[in-house]
Structure 1
Amino acid sequence: MQRITTSDSPFTLLQQRLQYVSLQQEKPWRVWVENVPQWETQSPTAQFEFPLVSEYAPCEGYPFLLDAIRNRENGMYGLQLEQDQILVTNGALHGLSLIFRSLYRPHAVALCQAPILGSIATILESYGYTIKYFTSHQGELDIERLKAECADPNVSLVYVNTPHNPTGDILSRNTLAQLAELVQRRGINLVADMIYDSLTFDGAQSFTPLAATSVWKNVYAVNSMSKNYGSPGLRIGWVMSDRENIRRMAGFFEQECVAICGIAQKQAQLLLERGNRDLVETIAARKKYIEAKLAAFQGISYMVPRGGTQFYVQLPVDDIDLFADYMLVNYSFAITTISNYQGGTGSYIRVPTVYPIETTEAALELLAEGIKSFSFHYIMSP
Structure 2
Amino acid sequence: MKTTAITRRLSDLGGAKWGLHFRAQELAAQGRDIVQLTIGEPDSPPPAALIDAAADAMRAGRTAYSKGEGEDGLRDALAQRYAARIGRAVTPAQVMCFPGTQTALYAVLMGVAEAGCEVLVGDPMYATYEGVVRASGADMVPVPLHADNGFRLNARDLAARITPRSRAILLNTPHNPTGAVLTRADLQAIGQVALDHDLWIISDEVYDELIHDDSEFVSPLSLPELADRTIVVSSISKSHAAPGFRSGWCIGPEAFTAALLPLSETMLFGNQPFIADMTELAIRQGSEVAPAMRTRFAARARTLADRLDNESPLRVLPPSAGMFAMINVAATGMDGETYAHHLLEHAGVAVMPGASFGATLTDWVRLALTAPDDDIARACDRMVAHANSLMAQPA
- Aligned counterpart, 2:371: 355
CA distance in 1, matches of 2:351, 2:226: 42
Alpha-carbon spacing, 1:106–1:223, altered in 2? closer, same or farther (3 Å): same
Aligned pair partner of 1:209 in 209, 216, 220: 220
CA distance in 2, matches of 1:312, 1:299: 14
CA distance in 1, matches of 2:195, 2:183: 19
Q: CA deviation at 1:116?
A: 0.9
Superposed CA offset, 1:311-342 (max 9, x none)? 11112351433333334444554322213312
CA distance in 2, matches of 1:278, 1:179: 32
CA distance in 2, matches of 1:11, 1:289: 28
Superposed CA offset, 1:124-164 (max 9, x none)? 134231413142625865434434433x2111111111111
Q: What is the one-letter code of the residue matched to 1:323?
A: Y
Q: What is the one-letter code of the residue matched to 2:177?
A: P
CA contact (8 A) 2:233 2:251 kept: yes
- Aligned counterpart, 2:206: 195
Q: What is the one-letter code of the residue matched to 1:13?
A: K
CA contact (8 A) 1:109 1:157 kept: yes
1:168 lines up with 2:179 in the alignment:
yes
CA distance in 2, matches of 1:314, 1:218: 36
Q: What is the one-letter code of the residue matched to 1:171?
A: L
Q: CA deviation at 1:232?
A: 0.9
CA contact (8 A) 2:304 2:376 kept: no
CA distance in 2, matches of 1:75, 1:300: 42
| Mean Cα deviation higher: 203-212 or 278-287 | 278-287
CA contact (8 A) 1:37 1:283 kept: no
CA contact (8 A) 1:180 1:213 kept: no
Report matched runs for 1:126-145 at 5 Å. Answer: 126=135, 127-135=137-145, 137-138=149-150, 141-145=153-157
Aligned pair partner of 2:57 in 24, 27, 49: 49
RMSD: 2.9
CA distance in 2, matches of 1:332, 1:146: 39
Aligned with 1:116: secondary structure?
coil
Aligned with 2:321: secondary structure?
coil
Q: What is the one-letter code of the residue matched to 1:18?
A: F
- Aligned counterpart, 2:275: 264
CA distance in 1, matches of 2:47, 2:281: 13
- Aligned counterpart, 2:301: 290
Alpha-carbon spacing, 1:359–1:290, altered in 2? closer, same or farther (3 Å): same
Superposed CA offset, 1:197-226 (max 9, x none)? 112123221111111126633211111112
Aligned with 2:319: secondary structure?
coil
* TM-score, normalised relative to structure 2: 0.83
* TM-score, normalised relative to structure 1: 0.86
Q: CA deviation at 1:367?
A: 3.0
- Aligned counterpart, 2:236: 225
Report matched runs for 1:27-66 at 5 Å. Answer: 27=31, 28-39=33-44, 42-44=47-49, 45=51, 46=53, 47-50=55-58, 54-66=63-75
1:11 lines up with 2:15 in the alignment:
yes
CA contact (8 A) 2:79 2:90 kept: yes
1:279 lines up with 2:290 in the alignment:
yes
CA distance in 1, matches of 2:261, 2:28: 43
CA contact (8 A) 2:145 2:360 kept: no
Aligned pair partner of 2:189 in 146, 153, 178: 178
| Mean Cα deviation higher: 191-200 or 174-183 | 174-183
CA contact (8 A) 1:210 1:219 kept: yes
Aligned with 2:203: secondary structure?
strand
Q: What is the one-letter code of the residue matched to 2:361?
A: T
Q: CA deviation at 1:373?
A: 5.2
CA contact (8 A) 2:177 2:366 kept: yes
1:308 lines up with 2:322 in the alignment:
yes
Q: What is the one-letter code of the residue matched to 1:241?
A: G
List structure 1 segments (4+ residues) > 6 angstroms apart after TM superposition.
376-379
Q: What is the one-letter code of the residue matched to 1:90?
A: P
- Aligned counterpart, 1:3: none
Q: CA deviation at 1:120?
A: 0.6
CA contact (8 A) 2:355 2:361 kept: no
Query: Which ranges of structure 2 fall in alignment gaps of 5 or more residues?
Result: 1-11
Alpha-carbon spacing, 1:82–1:289, altered in 2? closer, same or farther (3 Å): same
Higher helix share: 2
Q: What is the one-letter code of the residue matched to 1:55?
A: A
Q: What is the one-letter code of the residue matched to 2:82?
A: E
CA contact (8 A) 2:179 2:324 kept: yes
CA contact (8 A) 2:335 2:364 kept: no
